[in-house]
Amino acid sequence: MYTQGLDAKPADNTIPFNRTDPELERRFQERVDAEEKIEPRDWMPDGYRRTLVRQISQHAHSEIVGMLPEGNWITRAPTLRRKIALLAKVQDEGGHGLYLYSAAETLGVSRDELVEQLLSGKAKYSSIFNYPTLTWADIGTIGWLVDGAAIMNQVPLCRCSYGPYARAMIRICREESFHQRQGYEIVMTLAQGTPEQKRMAQDSLDRWWWPALMMFGPSDDASAHSAQNMRWKIKRFSNDELRQKFVDATVPQAEYLGLTIPDPDLRFNAETGHYEFGTIDWSEFERVLKGDGPCNRERLEARNKAWDDGAWVREAALAHARKRESRAAAQNQAGARGRA
């Protein structure tokens, strides 16, 4: 998902658990089991804190990097209504990034540190945003599939054991489902439009379907630490369960639109009530996650450029704030002398 880098093997068998206090851990786990929310000042195991920092910050980075592929079409949106809707959507994603960075900060890291990790390429973000947006249809497809997949993953996170994260997710999920409907509506308009528009919609689905399935992360038997995260109630469903839910929900939507899912092995199993689908190309997933996807370099470059180009602005704002402070302090002193 937006945090799929977490369970990519061999990522993280390295999270150390140094502060082992069996009694505190036992009480912590009891609270988690009782569905109580853990708050920033509560005791928590180091591993729990670290996992959350990584998960929340990857999620935040994904929101921010995700602004780029969609932002690519704001200036080319085909109507004024679409232009406003897309701009507002991308703005929402930036807002999600903000809440999530704040949620991560409650765990004792600073936003600057996290941003630095993103810019240096150390931090991960969702593989999906390393694919290009080539046509207007991609704006519809991203809303429909990418926001749709995000919802599958994030609705359970609204019940995450960590309070600030769960609360941020509640707000975010409301907006994501709006994005998803909006995206589906764009695709529907195209699918019911001219033959060229229909072709645009199908081409887009062809390109985004498999990357969307990869958003849920590696399959359960390859996933590094699902079990611990389930115990901590950071995760509620496995990657494969969520992926299956997504496929089951999405295939009928594609059928309704008259679009073809690009998977010759896709079929409905009447016995299980689920769709069976073909094998995901995990080597592509690994490549994209490692940095060799179609747009990884462009995305990081764009983030770095915005940051570097903005350096003089941030420095000026800081310098101005300092001048203000020292002027105010000088005034206070003069005032104090005047009263004395």
Partner 1 sequence: MTDDTLRSALVDYALRLGDTSLVLGHRLSEWCGHAPELEEDLALANMALDLVGHARMWLAFAGETEGKGRDEDRLAYHRDGFDYRNHLLVEQPNRDFGHTIARQFLHDAWSVGLYERLASSANPEVAGIAAKAVKEVRYHLRHSGEWVVRLGDGTEKSRAIMADAFDRLSRYTDEMFEADGVERTLTAAGIAPDPEELRAGWEARVDAVLAEATLSRPAIHGRQTGGRSGRHTEHLGHLLAEMQFLQRAYPGATW
Show the tokens assigned to 203: 């081409």
- Give the whole-angstrom CA distance, residue 164 versus residue 204: 36
Query: Which residues in 223-262 contact partner 1 (CB under 8 A)?
Result: none
Segment near partner 1 (CB under 8 A), from 96-104, 151-159, 228-236, 280-288?
A: 96-104
- What DSSP designation does 143 have? I
Contact pick of 23, 35, 265, 309 for partner 1 (by CB under 8 A):
309
Tell the burial category of 202 from Cβ atoms under 10 Å away from its Cβ (0-12, 13-18, 19+). Answer: buried
Q: Compute the least distance from the CB of residue 262 to partner 1, in Å.
A: 24
179 binds, among Fe ion, partner 1, none (CB under 5 to 8 A by kind): Fe ion
Q: Determine if residue 291 is left, alpha or beta; phi over 0 gives left, psi from -120 to 50 gives alpha, anything else beta.
A: left
Segment near partner 1 (CB under 8 A), from 150-158, 255-263, 272-280, 312-320?
A: 312-320
265 binds, among partner 1, Fe ion, none (CB under 5 to 8 A by kind): none
- Give the whole-angstrom CA distance, residue 161 versus residue 39: 9
- Give the whole-angstrom CA distance, residue 271 versus residue 283: 31
Binding residues with partner 1: total (CB under 8 A): 46
Whether the Cβ atoms of residue 38 and residue 162 lie closer than 8 Å to each other = yes
- Give the whole-angstrom CA distance, residue 38 versus residue 54: 17
Q: Compute the least distance from the CB of residue 170 to partner 1, in Å.
A: 20
The answer to the question of residue 96 lying near Fe ion (CB under 5 A) is yes
Show the tokens assigned to 137: 């249809």
Contact pick of 306, 329, 330, 334 for partner 1 (by CB under 8 A):
306
List of residues 6+ apart from 20 with CB closer than 8 A: 45
Query: Which residues in 112-151 contact partner 1 (CB under 8 A)?
Result: 136
Query: Which residues in 179-198 contact Fe ion (CB under 5 A)?
Result: 179
The residues that bridge with 269 in the sheet, in sequence order, are 274
Q: What is the residue whose two structure tokens read 């679009």?
A: 259
Q: Choose between 136 and 210: whose C-beta lies nearer to partner 1.
A: 136
Q: Compute the least distance from the CB of residue 167 to partner 1, in Å.
A: 20
Residues that bind Fe ion (CB under 5 A): 63, 93, 96, 147, 176, 179
Residues that bind partner 1 (CB under 8 A): 64, 67-68, 71, 74-84, 87-88, 90-91, 94-95, 97-98, 101, 136, 189, 193-194, 196-197, 302, 305-307, 309-317, 319-320, 323
